[in-house]
Amino acid sequence: MSAGKFEYAPAPESRSVVDLRSSYGLFVGGEFVPTVDGRMFKTVSPATEEVLAEVTEAGAEDVDRAVRAARTAYDSVWGPMSGRDRGKFLFRIARLIQERARELAVLESLDNGKPIRESRDVDIPLVAAHFFYYAGWADKLEYAGFGADPRPVGVAGQVIPWNFPLLMLAWKIAPALACGNTVVLKPAETTPLTALLFAEICQQADLPPGVVNIVTGAGATGQAIVEHEGVDKVAFTGSTEVGKAIARSVAGTPKKVTLELGGKAANVVFDDAPLDQAVEGIVNGIFFNQGHVCCAGSRLLVQENVYDEVLDRLKRRMATLRVGDPLDKNTDVGAINSAEQLRRIATLSEVGEAEGAERWSAPCELPDRGYWFAPTIFTGVTQAHRIAREEIFGPVLSILTFRTPAEAVEKANNTPYGLSAGVWTEKGSRILWMADRLRAGVVWANTFNRFDPTSPFGGYKESGHGREGGRHGLAAYLQAGHPKAGHPKEAARA
C-alpha cells in the first residue's frame, strides 16, 4: 500500500482578519449589554486549548430581558413591517455575510476546530445562501401554500448545537425573520463566537433593535428560553435526549415546536457502484466536520461481494487524510470540538472493541495539545453492537455487510433514528426502489452530505419532527389558515 501523503508546506490562514474582543456581553435590544444575573465563562480553541474570549452565561433574568426585547420589536416594528421591507434587511445581512466571509470562516475554525477548507467553502457560503433564499420568500409568503394570508407566530426561542454554529443559526434565524417573527437564540456553550459576530452584522445592517437577540450560556440558559412564557415557538437542534426533555416541557402549552435531533445514517454501497467515487462518498460521509454531523454516514453497509475491495480502497484513502491545524488550508480533519466530546468518542470506541469489533485507525500524528481523534473504522460490527446503534458524533465508522437489497433496507432501517441515508449504485431504478423504502428524511444517491437551502431537511422517528429549509421550512414560522391571527396592527390594517 503506498500510504504516502504528499508533503505540503504549511499553509496557515491568517487569523489577523479576526478582531476578537477579550470579553462579550449579551446581544439584547440591538446592543451588547452586561449580564443582570449571570456570570462569565471562557471559550477555548479546541485545537490548542488557548482561551479565545470570555463570554456571558445568561441567567433567567437575562433571558427574560431578551424575550421582552423580542416581543417589543415584534409588536412595534417587525410584525407590522411589509414582507418586501423585511426581505431588504435579509438581503443586506446575506451580502454582509459574503463581505465578511473570511473573517467568519477563520473565527468558526478557531472556535469550533473545523478545517478552514470546510468553514470557508461549505459553512459560510451556505449561511449566506440561506439568508438569500429566505430573503426571497419574505414578500411571497401568500404563494407558499400555507393559506392566502399566512401570519408570523411571534417570538421564536431557538437553541442550537456546536457542530455547525453559524449554519445552524442561519437555518433558524433566516426563515423566522422572513416570516415576520423575532428571535432569541442561544448558541452552544463551546461555540458562541460566530453568533456574536453575527450580532455585529445585524447592527451593521441596521436591523431594528430586538429583532435578533443572542444570549450565550449553557444548558440552563437554553432551558430558560424554552420554558419562557413569552416564547411562542421553540426551535431546537441538538441531541435526542435534550429534544425529548424539550418536547415534555412544551407539551400542553400553546408553543409550536420543531426538533432536529440525532442520527445514525446508513450509507449503502452496492456491488455495481463506481467504487472510487463511493469511497470518496464514504470518507465525506463520516470524516467531514470530524464526524460531528447529525446526518453523518456513520453506518456503512457494503454488499458482501465487494467488501474486501471497498475496505482496501477505504483504508488507502484514509491513510492520505491530513489531520491537524484547522487553520491550515491543507487540513482534511480538524480538532474534536471539546474534551467532553472527545471522551464520549473514546469511550464508545472502547466499547466497540470490548464488544468484539475490530478497530483500525488511519496512521497519523496527532498534535500534543488540543482534542484529537484519528479517523477510525470498525469492522466485524453486528447490528447489536452499541457502535452500530448509538450516535458517536465523531470520526468513527462502523462497517456492516449485506447480500440483497431487501437485507440492506432491513438493516438500514434498523435504528431508532431516521435523519438521512445514502445509496451508491449505477442503477437508477434501484435508487428509487431504495429511496421508497428507507425511513429517512434525506436520501442521497451517489453523493453524501449535500446541503441546499431550497431543500427541506429533517427526521423520522427519534431524529425529530418538522422540517427546516426550503418552502417546508416556512411552515414552522407561520400560523397558516388563520386569517385573523398574527400581528394585531397588521390585522387591523388589512
Question: Nearer Cβ to ligand TAP, position 110 or 306?
Answer: 110
**Residue 165 binds to ligand TAP (criterion: CB under 6 A):** no
Which position among 201, 306, 419, 443 is part of the footprint of ligand TAP (CB under 6 A)? 419
Q: Of 113, 152, 161, 486, which lies in the binding site for ligand TAP, with binding defined by CB under 6 A? A: 161
* Count of other CB atoms within 10 angstroms of residue 197: 22
Q: How far is CA 20 from CA 51, 244, 351, in A?
A: 11, 36, 40
From 75-83, 137-145, 161-169, 271-279, span contacting ligand TAP (CB under 6 A): 161-169
Round to whole Å and give the CA distance between 357 and 385: 8
Of the candidates 201, 220, 208, 180, the one whose C-alpha atom is nearest the C-alpha of residue 60 is 220
Out of 105, 188, 214, 306, the only residue in the binding site for ligand TAP (CB under 6 A) is 188
- Comparing CB distances to ligand TAP, the nearer of 80 and 219 is 219
Q: Which residues contact 163 (CB under 8 A, 6 or more apart)?
A: 112, 289, 292, 293, 294, 337, 393
Q: Judging by DSSP bridges, how do beta strands 299-303 and 266-269 pair with one another?
A: parallel
Residue type, 194: T
Contact between 159 and ligand TAP by CB under 6 A: the answer reads: yes
Task: Give the one residue of 118, 149, 260, 325 binding ligand TAP; rule: CB under 6 A.
Answer: 260
Nearer to ligand TAP by Cβ, of 209 and 464: the residue is 464
Least distance CB 81 / ligand TAP (angstroms): 29
Residue whose Cβ sits closest to ligand TAP: 222
Smallest gap from residue 221 Cβ to ligand TAP (A): 7
Helices (H), 123-239: 124-137, 165-178, 193-204, 219-227
Catalytic-residue membership of 260: yes
Which window, 26-34, 145-153, 181-189, 397-405, contacts ligand TAP (CB under 6 A)? 181-189
Q: Does 393 bind ligand TAP (CB under 6 A)?
A: yes
Neighbouring C-beta atoms of residue 38, cutoff 10 Å: 22
Distance CA 176, CA 236 (A): 13
CA 152, 154, 159, 165 torsion: positive or negative?
Answer: positive
Nearer to ligand TAP, 311 or 474 (CB): 474
Dist CA 170 CA 11 (whole Å): 29
* Residues of span 229-258 touching ligand TAP by CB under 6 A: 237-239, 242, 245-246
Among 65, 117, 186, 467, binds ligand TAP (CB under 6 A): 186
Cell of 397: 465508522
Tell me how far, at minimum, the Cβ of 89 lies from ligand TAP, in Å: 25
Q: What are the DSSP calls for 292-337, one per residue?
A: --TT---EEEEEGGGHHHHHHHHHHHHTT--BS-TTBTT-SB---S
Q: Cα(25)–Cα(445) distance, rounded to whole angstroms?
A: 45
Site track 15-54 with ligand TAP (rule: CB under 6 A), x = hit? ----------------------------------------
Among 98, 163, 160, smallest CA distance to 125 is for 98
Q: Which of residues 296-355 bind ligand TAP (CB under 6 A)?
A: none
Cβ distance to ligand TAP smaller for residue 89 or 444? 444
Question: Among 28, 294, 301, 476, which residue interacts with ligand TAP (rule: CB under 6 A)?
Answer: 294
Tell me which of 57, 260, 390, 391 is the catalytic residue. Answer: 260
CB of 61 to ligand TAP, least distance (A): 17
Q: How far is CA 289 from CA 137, 213, 475, in A?
A: 30, 27, 29
Taking CB under 6 A as the rule, does residue 162 contact ligand TAP? Answer: yes
The length of the chain in residues reads 494
CB 4 within 8 A of CB 44: no
Judged by beta carbon, residue 180 or residue 458, the one nearer ligand TAP is: 458
Contacts of 453 (CB under 8 A, 6+ apart): 126, 129, 130, 132, 133, 134, 174, 469, 470
- Residues in touch with ligand TAP (CB under 6 A): 159-163, 186, 188-189, 218-219, 222-223, 226, 237-239, 242, 245-246, 260-263, 294, 391, 393, 419, 459, 464
Active site members: 260
